[in-house]
Every structure is written in C-alpha cells, then in structure tokens.
Amino acid sequence: MLHIDATAHVRGESTYVDDVPAPAGMLYAAIFGSPVAHGSVASLNVEDALAAEGVAAVITAKDIPGENQIGPIIPDEPLLADGAVHYRGQPLAVVLAKSVALARKGAALITVSIDPLPVITDPRKAYENGEIIGAPRTVACGDVEAAFERCDVVVSGSCDMGGQEHVYLETQRSRAVPQEPGRLKIYSSTQSPYAGQRMIARILGIPHNHIEIDVLRLGGAFGGKEDQATQWACVAALSAWVTGQAVEVVLSREEDMRMTGKRHPYLSDFKIGATHDGKILAYQVEHYQNSGAGADLSTAVLERTLLHSTGSYHIPNARIFGVCCRTNLPPNTAFRGFGGPQGMFVIECAITALAEKMNLPVAQLQRRNLLDKSDPFPYGQLMGNDHAIRAWDDAVASYDFAAIHERIDHFNADHFATKKGAALMPVCFGISFTTTYMNQASALLHVYTDGSVGLSTGGVEMGQGLSTNMVLLAARALGIDTGKVRIESTNTTRIANMSPSAASSTTLLNGNAVVLAADQILVRLRTVAAELLSESRADRITIADGEVLNGGKPAGLTWEALVQHAYQSRVGLSAHAFYATPDVHYDKQTEQGEPFAYHACGTAMVEVTLDCVRGTYTVDSVKMVHDLGRPLSESVDLGQIEGGLAQGLGWMSLEDLQYGEDGTLLSGALATYKLPDAHFMPDDIQVKFLEQTDGPIGPYGSKAVGEPPLMYGIALFFALRQAMRAFRPTAEFPFTAPLTPERVLTALYAGDDPGELPRK
Ligand code: MTE
Ligand code: HPA
Ligand code: MOS
C-alpha cells in the first residue's frame, strides 16, 4: 500500500492547521522574544504596541490565570518570561492583531530593558559553574579500572558534536477556538496532543476535560513537536482565553529557527582499551550535553544517550557518565534518535581512534566486538538475538565490501588530489520509550451500518506513514479492504491520555491497540454470523476479503450484510482497546533494567569521494542491510529509511549550527544553515531487508523504523575521515562534527609546517 496521503500531498490537497477556514474575527499572534540571551528584566513596555493599528491585545505573564509553567519533566520553564530571560528569543509577550502583518508591526513597538547577565553557550563551562539540570548519571558494568590494566592498547580522546535544526516543512503553529463558555478547542501541529491539553489546563487553571486538542496531520516534526509544540498551543489557548476570540499562532521560519530548541550538541571525552587481537575490554565516556536554558526533555534524551553509549558492541567493562548542562540557548529537545546518535557517534570515534593506533582496519575491530545473542548491554538487558551480526555479515557479503575497499585503495593510489573513503556503521537502537509508563496507547474503532469503518488512535501522522499503517492493520484484522477504513484526526475527546507519537513506537503501541479493538468487534460479529449460518462453533467463522468464511469456505455472506445483521440484532459495533508494552522496566537508582521491547539493527556502508583541494565531497553510495521485521508497507518503511538516512548524513556533514558568544544563532536561516538536498543524496542507495527477523511484539511481526536508519548517516563522518587520511596519513584529525567542507579543508591543511603537506 502506498502512503495514504501520497496523492493528496502531491496535489496540495492535504490540510494542515492553517488550511482550516478561519473563524470570524480570528486574531493572529506575533511573539516578542528576548533580544538578549541572559538577564533580568527591568521593564517591559507594551503601551505603544497596544495603541498600534489593528492590535487587539498584548498578552504577558501577568495575564496567565493558572501557573506560568510548561516544563514537561522538571518545572523550570515559564510560558512567558517573567523577571528573567535565559535565551535569545524567549517569549516575553504576545501581540494579537487582525492580521499577521499588523501583529508583527505591533510587536516591533515593544521595548524591554534588561540588565545583562553572563552568557554561557559551552556545556563544559556550564558544568564547571555548577549549571546542571537534574543529577548527573552513570551507567556502569564490570570493573573498568581493572580491565584497563589488562588492555594492550588504550586510547583516549574528545568529541565535539553539533546540534541539528529540525526544519520540518510546516513550522510551529496552533489555533485556539473558544467554544461554549469555559471550553477551548485547539488545532495544533503537535506530536503530543495530550501534553498540549495538560499544559493548557495548567496555564489556565482549568480541568483537562475543558480542553479539546485536534490533530489532523503534521507537515513534519522529527521530534521538534514532541514537546515544543506545546508552548505554541499554550500561547494560542491563553490568547483565546483572555480575548474570547479565536487566535492563531504561526512561527515564521526565521522565528522558528531562532526560538525553538534543536538536537542537543554534546562534548564527550572517551577512553577505550583492547587486547592485541582487538577485543575491547574497557570503555569509559563522559557526556556533557548542551541542554539549553530549560530542561525540556533533556534528561530523557541523556538517558537514551547513556543506553546507546556502547552502540552495537559488547563491552564487558564500561562506565558511562552523562550530565545535562544548562546554557543560554533555547532549550534543546527531541530529535530523531533522541540522544542515541550522540552516544553512538562517540563509541564509533573511540573505536576508530583505537583502530588508527593499532593500525588495524576499523571494520575489523567493529566486527570483532559486535553484540551477539547472549551479550548484555551495560544496563543489564540482553541483546537476545544475532541480528547485529547477521546484518553486518549479510551486508559485507551482499555488497562485497572487500572488493569496494580494494577498488578504493587502487583509486587512491592513482589519484593525488581526489581521495575516496568508505566506512561501515552498525546500528542497534532500543525500541520503547525509556520512560516505561509512556509505553501505552489506545484505539477507538467504529463500524458503521454500511460496513465502513472509522478509526481513531492516540498516534499522530507526521509524514511517517502512521495513518497508512493504522488503516492496513484495521483492514487486515477485520478481513476487509483498506478502502473501507477511514482514519480520523487524533483528538483528545476520542482518545484520552495519549503518549506522544515518538520513540519510533507509534505503530507498535497504537497498532496493537487497533488490532485489539478489531478483535473485540470480530468476536461479536462471529457470534452473529454463526447464528445466521446455523453454525454451532463461532470459532469456525472468519472474514477475509470482505466475505464471511465458515471453516475456510465462503458462506455466502458479505461483510456489509453481516454488519447489518449485527446492527439489527442490537450488537455493539464500536470498540475501544488499550495496549501497554509488556515486561519493559528500568530502575534509575541501579541504572539496570530492560527498558526496550527489542533492538532494531542493521549495517550500512557509506562511500565518499573527497576533493582534497577544495574540501568538497560527494556521497557516492549507501548500501545497507536493515532489520525491518515483517514490514506492514515496504514503501512506507523505505521512505522512513531514506528520510532518516538523509537526516543522519546531514547531521554529520552539512548542518552546522553556529552560535555567537552572546548566544545569537548565526546560522538562523536556510541561507546559512545548509540542508542535504536531492543533489547531495547519493544516486546509489541500496537497501536490503534482513530476512527472518519478525518483530517480537510489533503488530503482525512489524518493527519500528522511524529513527534507527538516521544513525547510518554516522558512517559518512568516518568515510570522510578515511579519505582525509588517504591524503594525509600522518595528520591528527579531530572528532568534530559536522564535518563540513570548511572543516575538512581546515583539517587537511592544519599545522604550521608546509613541508609536512602531501606532495604529488
Ligand atoms: N518521518 C516523517 N516523514 N516526518 C517526521 O516528522 N519523525 C521521526 C520519524 N520519522 C518523522 C518521521 C521521529 S523523530 C520519530 S520518533 C518517528 O518518525 C515517529 O513515528 P513512529 O513512531 O510512527 O515511527
Ligand atoms: N524517546 C522519545 N521520547 C521520549 C523517550 C524516548 O525514549 N522517553 C521519554 N520521551
Ligand atoms: Mo522522535 S525524536 O522520538 O519524536
């Protein structure tokens, strides 16, 4: 089945928040954000804005009737700054006017006087100053000190990873529409409708059941709307509450880039040791996460970093330390991979440093230490299968990597100023929310009397193909054509208390709930059919392709006729079902447990050609073997693989967030923040699915696919490094990402002595 929205998307007919016709008198919001990154607010003057043409109201912290607090985990984030500002762009006031243009003009008239305070953008400096969020955490196994003693080779180093801007096509937006007194309906572009509902209730001081959030679909989110859509929903709701009119908040691209959080940059130090034959015995890492000015989801992101710090490898002695460091940047947030990519990048750097020191091929060390079935992760969970090894071996054999390496060596010997490089990246990504209680979902299924089906779940369609998967699952479970099933918007009045659509787990959680709901209906319909067909055993009745079967043979009864009979027999045709992932658990005190339902695995090779005069490069190919389980829709999953890969490649290479010392985002526009595009992506992308790997709990054997492929992009960094080393074999290159052409060029010609540079 194709992505259910494919046709409407291409024709421009899919609707989003601001395609919904505007209610009469709707006001438009402009956000006035702090012009400085840190300070205490001496005065805020909104009089001129209030008097401006078309301006209906200006909202500040004083207008908040409830609690001025939207921190999702730790209450450290006001909706509107009050007294102090902690990052540039932090919302101080909201101007409401008859048009967006007038609201912006009004906002330009606001003045603020702020007594500046020192600005910190470096996480290590924040840590030294004691500016941390939550408590530092350490996951450990074995005896690291003793193991280092036993190592033949030990290396240490540091990594500097950049963040990443989400660049969802649809920027943050929300529309609040007052209903009967005391009630609000909000259309929001959010991954987490319930978080919006919960926080609006807190801001307004009203019960959850007075607020309805409706989400049709998102024009992309990538984690950027897991938590950070909430504040804009709150701004819209508060504004509508105060004015009694409908209000729409839409951030411009520039505002969105400047005001919202991104993937967390990390500074990390590592030490790794192995025996002569390449068995890694010990690993030690310290992660300094640049959390930004508020906690947001940072502590959960750090947790996933800790749990992915040994990547796809079995390391018997490890000590993994991580800390969230408070800086004066917008609070950083979820981004596809959720801290996993950072943990996995560092271990790859460590293994690469080790291989360089030992003069061994990196791939040899990687393969030697891959997780096998009975190997534990440092947090105690067992790998449980041989998919990491199988995917690696399958990739190496299927794509004949030995031949590729040989071809590259020949090429490099024949060329002076152009070098090729290739690297392999094994991925092993834990599936489930690490916050155990979040692994729950519900579905609501209605069968109408004409046999058509309406389906609601707590999952949000953000482009990833959730709706397609949900329709497929309902149709398959009921035994009817997908054309009979309509997926409804995600709405808090139909599904309560939903978790965000995140952690790659939306199909797993909501899909299982859909199947359970369909099963309830089926049990009832089978009884009706058995009666109609004078069959004493209802368990002999099945439905396939819209026909009722008795003992596997057509019974001359259609789905539609059966549904009619059920209705007239007064049998309920609606079902609500709840699903919770069984057995997952984690103890934050001991840092041990089984937080994941399973791990999604695979291996990819990235090949590059580097122009050593210019520092520019081309990604030639990506070849992977990925463990998809039994896909519900191969084309949807392939879309996720290619999209995730593109974002991973971009994170490692082009996408360079630069901040000034005063906390200004210097790359705050798409002219200065370079994204991977169709030209950048390799023409040659080959994806092979690992055979016989049915998902253990995914509906119909399917597996999560949303995030894992992003981490294949990490191979690009190391492929480039290979090419750079082919040009300058003895140079020391830093582990600084992204490896932009500028950084490549600088590294290739670093050093004071021109005599050291390569000569033809
Ligand atoms: N794909 C598209 N097209 N748009 C998105 O916003 N978000 C990613 C991934 N793929 C995203 C996407 C992220 S961060 C996650 S966690 C998963 O989709 C969420 O959806 P899933 O749980 O259904 O995989
Ligand atoms: N992934 C995404 N979001 C989350 C997670 C996670 O593991 N834990 C809490 N929120
Ligand atoms: Mo995805 S980062 O879990 O929204």
d(CA 663, CA 665): 6
Per-residue confidence (pLDDT) for residue 27, from 0 to 100: 98
Residue pair 444/576 in contact (Cβ under 8 Å)? The answer is yes
Half-sphere exposure (Cβ direction) of 569: Cα atoms closer than 13 Å: 16
Positive or negative torsion for Cα 495, 497, 502, 505: negative
Which-ligand-closest: CA of 506?
1
Token pair of 658 as six digits: 């630069």
| Mutate-to-test residue for ligand 1 from 225, 336, 473, highest number of ligand atoms within 8 A of CB | 336
Half-sphere exposure (Cβ direction) of 260: Cα atoms closer than 13 Å: 32
pLDDT tens string 677-732: 999 999 999 999 998 888 899 999 999 999 999 999 999 999 999 999 999 998 99
Q: Write the residue with the smallest CA distance to atom 2 of ligand 2.
A: 503
Annotation says 67 is catalytic: no
d(CA 473, CA 518): 9
Positive or negative torsion for Cα 559, 560, 565, 568: positive
Q: Kind of pairing, strands 247-250 and 27-33?
A: parallel
Half-sphere exposure (Cβ direction) of 369: Cα atoms closer than 13 Å: 34
Edge-to-edge strands, sheet with 735-737: 132-141, 317-326, 280-292, 266-274, 153-161, 735-737
pLDDT tens string 78-93: 999 999 999 999 999 9
Residue pair 255/232 in contact (Cβ under 8 Å)? The answer is no
Rounded mean pLDDT, 648-665: 97
Q: Kind of pairing, strands 55-59 and 280-292?
A: unpaired
Per-residue confidence (pLDDT) for residue 69, from 0 to 100: 98
d(CA 415, CA 611): 11
| Mutate-to-test residue for ligand 1 from 227, 433, 464, 467, highest number of ligand atoms within 8 A of CB | 464
What's the DSSP call for residue 17? G
Secondary structure of 703-740 in HEC code, one letter for each residue: CCCCCHHHHHHHHHHHHHHHHHHHHCCCCCCCEEECCC
Token pair of 102 as six digits: 């007038």
Which-ligand-closest: CA of 166?
1
pLDDT tens string 448-472: 999 999 999 999 999 999 999 999 9
Please choose, from the candidates 621, 688, 614, the residue with its C-alpha nearest in 3D space to the C-alpha of residue 649.
Answer: 621
Per-residue confidence (pLDDT) for residue 489, from 0 to 100: 98
Which-ligand-closest: CA of 334?
3
| Mutate-to-test residue for ligand 1 from 217, 218, 222, 440, highest number of ligand atoms within 8 A of CB | 222
Please choose, from the candidates 400, 371, 756, the residue with its C-alpha nearest in 3D space to the C-alpha of residue 598.
Answer: 371
- What is the Å distance from ligand 3's center to 85 Cα? 27
Amino acid at site 374: S
Angle, helices 634-653 vs 714-727, to 10°: value is 50
Strands (E), 509-637: 541-544, 547-550, 553-558, 574-580, 585-587, 592-594, 598-611, 617-626
Give the rounded percent of residues in the chain with a pLDDT score beyond 70: 100
Which ligand 1 atom is the nearest neighbour of the CA of 704?
Answer: 24
Positive or negative torsion for Cα 495, 499, 502, 508: negative
d(CA 353, CA 346): 10
d(CA 495, CA 188): 16
Amino acid at site 207: P
Q: Is 478 in the pocket of ligand 3 (CB under 6 A)?
A: no
Contacts of 410 (CB under 8 A, 6+ apart): none
Which ligand 2 atom is the nearest neighbour of the CA of 502?
Answer: 2
Whole-number mean pLDDT of the chain?
Answer: 97
Which-ligand-closest: CA of 646?
1
What's the DSSP call for residue 130? T
Residue pair 178/244 in contact (Cβ under 8 Å)? The answer is yes
Q: Write the residue with the smallest CA distance to atom 7 of ligand 2.
A: 433
Which-ligand-closest: CA of 460?
1
Token pair of 532 as six digits: 């109609």
Tell me: pLDDT of 191 over 90: yes
pLDDT tens string 204-219: 999 999 999 999 999 9
Per-residue confidence (pLDDT) for residue 546, from 0 to 100: 98
Which ligand 3 atom is the nearest neighbour of the CA of 706?
Answer: 1
Q: Write the residue with the smallest CA distance to atom 4 of ligand 3.
A: 223
Rounded mean pLDDT, 325-340: 98
Which ligand 2 atom is the nearest neighbour of the CA of 430?
Answer: 7
Q: Is 338 in the pocket of ligand 2 (CB under 6 A)?
A: yes
pLDDT tens string 124-149: 999 999 999 999 999 999 999 999 99
Confidence of residue 98 (pLDDT cuts 50, 70, 90): very high
Confidence of residue 651 (pLDDT cuts 50, 70, 90): very high
Q: Is 166 in the pocket of ligand 2 (CB under 6 A)?
A: no
Contacts of 622 (CB under 8 A, 6+ apart): 604, 605, 606, 607, 645, 649, 682, 684, 685, 686, 712, 715
Tell me: pLDDT of 264 over 90: yes
Rounded mean pLDDT, 485-511: 98
| Mutate-to-test residue for ligand 3 from 218, 298, 336, highest number of ligand atoms within 8 A of CB | 336
- What is the Å distance from ligand 3's center to 299 Cα? 14
Please choose, from the candidates 50, 59, 44, the residue with its C-alpha nearest in 3D space to the C-alpha of residue 112.
Answer: 44
d(CA 734, CA 753): 18
Q: Is 334 in the pocket of ligand 3 (CB under 6 A)?
A: yes
Q: Enumerate the β-bridge partners of residue 549.
A: 542, 554
Q: Is 264 in the pocket of ligand 3 (CB under 6 A)?
A: no
- What is the Å distance from ligand 1's center to 566 Cα? 38
Contacts of 552 (CB under 8 A, 6+ apart): 542
Would you give the end-to-end CA distance of the chain in angstroms?
A: 55
Q: Is 502 in the pocket of ligand 2 (CB under 6 A)?
A: yes
Residue pair 701/604 in contact (Cβ under 8 Å)? The answer is no
- What is the Å distance from ligand 3's center to 503 Cα? 5
Q: Is 435 in the pocket of ligand 2 (CB under 6 A)?
A: yes
d(CA 402, CA 404): 5
Residue 534 CB: number of other CB atoms within 10 A? Answer: 7
- What is the Å distance from ligand 2's center to 713 Cα? 21
Rounded mean pLDDT, 488-506: 98
Contacts of 757 (CB under 8 A, 6+ apart): 728, 749, 751
Q: Is 304 in the pocket of ligand 2 (CB under 6 A)?
A: yes
Tell me: pLDDT of 364 over 80: yes
Tell me: pLDDT of 490 over 80: yes
Per-residue confidence (pLDDT) for residue 2, from 0 to 100: 87
d(CA 74, CA 689): 41
Q: Is 477 in the pocket of ligand 3 (CB under 6 A)?
A: no
- What is the Å distance from ligand 2's center to 613 Cα? 43
- What is the Å distance from ligand 2's center to 435 Cα? 6
Per-residue confidence (pLDDT) for residue 760, from 0 to 100: 78
Please choose, from the candidates 38, 177, 54, 63, the residue with its C-alpha nearest in 3D space to the C-alpha of residue 107.
Answer: 54
What's the DSSP call for residue 702? B
- What is the Å distance from ligand 2's center to 439 Cα? 10
Residue pair 724/733 in contact (Cβ under 8 Å)? The answer is yes
- What is the Å distance from ligand 1's center to 617 Cα? 28
Contacts of 307 (CB under 8 A, 6+ apart): 139, 340, 343, 377, 379, 430, 434, 595, 596
Residue pair 420/609 in contact (Cβ under 8 Å)? The answer is yes
Which-ligand-closest: CA of 6?
1
Query: 226, 707, 742, 756: which is the annotated catalytic residue?
Result: 707
Q: Is 607 in the pocket of ligand 3 (CB under 6 A)?
A: no
Q: Could you tell me the domains of the chain?
A: 6-118+166-259 (3.90.1170.50), 120-163+264-369 (3.30.365.10), 386-433+597-760 (3.30.365.10), 440-580 (3.30.365.10)
Tell me: pLDDT of 8 over 80: yes
Which-ligand-closest: CA of 465?
1
Which ligand 1 atom is the nearest neighbour of the CA of 644?
Answer: 10
Give the rounded percent of residues in the chain with a pLDDT score beyond 90: 97
- What is the Å distance from ligand 1's center to 447 Cα? 29
112 to 53, 84, 653: CA distances (angstroms): 20, 12, 39
Which ligand 3 atom is the nearest neighbour of the CA of 501?
Answer: 4
Name every protein residue with a CB atom under 6 angstroms from any ligand 1 atom. 220-223, 336, 462-464, 466, 501-507, 640, 643, 704, 706-707
Query: What angle is formed at CA 635 by the lines to CA 630 and CA 641, rounded to 5 degrees?
Result: 80
pTM, full prediction: 0.98
Rounded mean pLDDT, 45-61: 98
Q: Is 504 in the pocket of ligand 2 (CB under 6 A)?
A: no
- What is the Å distance from ligand 1's center to 40 Cα? 38
Q: Is 227 in the pocket of ligand 3 (CB under 6 A)?
A: no
Confidence of residue 425 (pLDDT cuts 50, 70, 90): very high
Residue pair 292/279 in contact (Cβ under 8 Å)? The answer is no
Query: What angle is formed at CA 73 by the lines to CA 66 and CA 174, rounded to 5 degrees?
Result: 60
Tell me: pLDDT of 752 over 90: no
pLDDT tens string 552-595: 999 999 999 999 999 999 999 999 999 999 999 999 999 999 99
- What is the Å distance from ligand 2's center to 331 Cα? 16
